[in-house]
Amino acid sequence: MKTKLMIVLLLFAIGNGPMVYAGTITGKVQVPGKKDLSNIIVYLENVKGTFQAPSKRPEMNHINLQFVPGNLAVIQGTTVDFPNSDPVFHSAFSISKTNPFDLGIYGQGREKFVAFQNPGLVEIFCHIHSHMHAFVLVLENPNFGITSQDGSYTIRDVPNGNYSVKAWASPSVNNAKAVNVSGTTTVDFTLTTEN
């Protein structure tokens, strides 16, 4: 009797739609003439679902008169901390249309934050140090990866299906490829200024 009940439940589950499995996308990003390939963002578009911002807030720190990291990817709705670890005053601001903000000027040991509500590229500057420049790429889903120094990346827990996967390096170098995810899929990129 139990066996028949299990078979009926299994047939009912199958009849109500296909099962979705989580796949993985791995690969490497190459940029001709560049040795350090870290901090390139690889992400998926057209991922269906409702996604929540992470409970642990990412940060973009002020270290040695630089924003660290220089490129940061977050899902929309994420709050990013902007601590100042330098023994000088700094600021962080953006005039981007999607997420404009201005945190004002603050000293070492202080931390301010911004909630990035809208998808898009946010260019960040410091009022005091004009050479300081960084980017926050605000995405619609959490399916993204950041390259290591050799250009390798991994995007885990991707629902099986067809997507557009993009590789992005600041300020405007990007490339897109169509991908069908089923299990582990490899997607490599070569980024040039002509892409």
Domain locations in the chain as residue ranges: 21-51+140-195, 53-68+79-133
> How would residue 112 be classed by pLDDT, with cut points 50, 70 and 90?
very high
Of all residues in the chain, the percent with pLDDT exceeding 70 is 87
Spatial separation of the C-alpha atoms in residues 137 and 116, rounded to whole Å: 10
**Residue 191 host element (H or E):** none
Q: What is the mean pLDDT of residues 173-181?
A: 88
Could you tell me where the DSSP H helices lie in the chain? 2-15
Structure tokens at 88: 């000088």
> How would residue 21 be classed by pLDDT, with cut points 50, 70 and 90?
low
Say whether 53-68+79-133 and 21-51+140-195 share the same fold: yes
Q: What is the mean pLDDT of residues 164-177?
A: 86
Give the three-state DSSP class for 13.
helix
In the CATH scheme, what is the code of domain 21-51+140-195?
2.60.40.10
Closest-CA residue to 174 (of 73, 75, 41): 41
Of all residues in the chain, the percent with pLDDT exceeding 90 is 71
Spatial separation of the C-alpha atoms in residues 82 and 135, rounded to whole Å: 13
Spatial separation of the C-alpha atoms in residues 95 and 125, rounded to whole Å: 9
**pLDDT top residue among 102 and 20:** 102
Q: Which class is 53-68+79-133 in CATH?
A: mainly beta
Strand partners, 178: 164
**Residue 28 host element (H or E):** strand 22-30
Would the pLDDT of 11 be above 60?
no
Would the pLDDT of 55 be above 80?
yes
Q: Using alpha carbons only, how large is the chain's radius of gyration in Å?
A: 20
- pTM score of the predicted model: 0.84
